[in-house]
Structure 1
Amino acid sequence: MSPHFAIPRVGTGVDVHAFTAPGSGRPLWVAGLKWADDGGLDGHSDADVVAHASCDALLSAAGIGDLGTIFGTGDPRWSGASGATLLRHCAELVRANGFEIGNVSVQLIANRPKFAPRRHEAQAQLTAAAGADVTVIATTTDGLGLTGRAEGAAAIATAIVYRSADAPTHSG
C-alpha cells in the first residue's frame, strides 16, 4: 500500500430529543440555527439533534468516544452549549487524534421546523463549525412514531475521516 493512500474510516451518529411544551420559553435550535418555532428541544445543551448526531458520527469514525463521554450531562460547562460549539470541539478532537475529516452527511427526521428554506444556511453554519463539508437533508415519518406525532426530532449522521498524512500509522 502506498504511504500516500489513506483508508477512510466511517462513523455513524444518532440523536433524538423530545420537544418541550409550547410556551416553555426554550428556543428551538436545529442544524446550528435558531428557529422561530415555539417550544424547543429538551436537553442538557441546546439539544440540536443535527449537530449532536454529527458529533457522534465524527467521534465514532475516529474511534475516540461519544457525545455523552466527552460532554456528559454532569459537566456544567456544557449546560446550554450550542450544537455548533460542540461540533467545533469534536472536529478539533478528531484532528488532535491524527485524523482529517472528509465530510459529514446528516438526515433530520422531524415535522418541524420546515427545514428546506434554510438548508443552505444550516449547511454553511455546520461546515464552518466542522471545518469540513456538512450536508443536511430532511424528511418526515408520515405521522408515524415520536417524530411523526411531533413529540420530538431525530437525526442520523455519517462521517468519513482519514488518517492525516503526518499522523502515526497505528490502528485504532
Structure 2
Amino acid sequence: MKIRVGFGYDVHQFSEGRDLWLGGIKIDYERGLKGHSDADVLVHVICDALLGAANLRDIGFQFPDTAGEFKDIDSKILLKRTVALLQEKGFSIGNIDATICAELPKLNPYIQEMKCVLARVMGIDEEDLSIKATTTEKLGFVGRQEGIAAYATVLIEK
C-alpha cells in the first residue's frame, strides 16, 4: 500500500452582492466571497490538498479561472472531478482534516451539514472528514473581516 499526504491553503476576500458558499452549503450572511467560481474556500482547499497529494498540481491548473466553463461553477462539481482524477491514478481518500478561519459568520452551527454534504460528494464516510472553524483573534485580514482562509491536510492511499 502506498500512502501519501497533501496540504492545502486558500483565501478569498469578501465581496458584496454574492452568496456565501462554504463546505458545499449556502451560509446565511450579508457578504459572499470573491472568485471565478462560487468561491467556496473550504472546497477549494480540499481540492488543492487532494491534488497535491496525488501529484496532480493544484486547482488552478486543473480548473483554470481563465476557462469560461468554470465561471460561477458550483465548487462541489470541482471536488467531484478532483476525486475522479485521484481515482484514475488509483488513489482513494483515507481522511481529511480541514480548518476554516473566519471571524464572522460563526460557523459552528453549519459544520455537521458541511461534513454530510462533502462526504457524500467525495463518496467517503463522514467519520473520515474533520472540519473545524476558528478565528484569528481579530488579527490579520481574517481578523479585520476582509476575507476567509482555510487549510486542509489529507491522506490518500493506493
Q: Which structure would you say has the larger Rg?
A: 1
Question: What interval of TM-score do these two structures reach, taking the shorter chain for normalisation?
Answer: over 0.9
- Among 10, 20, 23, the residue aligned to 1:15: 10
Question: What is the alpha-carbon root mean square deviation over aligned residues?
Answer: 0.9
Q: Which runs of 5+ in 2 are unaligned?
A: none
The equivalent residue for 2:35 is: 43
Q: Which runs of 4+ in 1 moved over 2 A?
A: none
- Among 22, 27, 30, the residue aligned to 1:30: 22
Question: Identity across aligned pairs (percent)?
Answer: 41
Does 1:160 pair with 2:155? Answer: yes
CA contact (8 A) 1:84 1:125 kept: no
Question: Is the partner of 1:19 in helix, strand or coil?
Answer: strand
Does 1:128 pair with 2:120? Answer: yes
2:2 and 2:91 mapped to 1: Cα distance?
A: 11
Q: Which runs of 5+ in 1 are unaligned?
A: 1-5, 164-172
Structure 1: which amino acid aligns with 2:67? D
Structure 1: which amino acid aligns with 2:130? T
The equivalent residue for 2:133 is: 138
Residue 25 of structure 1 and its aligned partner are, at CA, apart by 2.1
| 1:57-96 aligned within 5 A | 57-96=49-88
1:149 and 1:47 mapped to 2: Cα distance?
A: 19
The equivalent residue for 1:111 is: 103
The equivalent residue for 1:170 is: none
TM-score norm. by structure 1 comes to 0.87
Comparing 29-38 and 124-133, the one that deviates more? 124-133
Q: Deviations over 1:134-172 (max 9, x none)?
A: 221010000000101000000000111111xxxxxxxxx
Which is helix-richer, 1 or 2? Answer: 2
1:61 and 1:10 mapped to 2: Cα distance?
A: 5
| 1:94-105 aligned within 5 A | 94-105=86-97
CA contact (8 A) 1:51 1:87 kept: yes
2:151 and 2:12 mapped to 1: Cα distance?
A: 12
Of the two structures, which has the highest relative contact order with CA contacts closer than 8 Å and spacing of 6 or more? 2
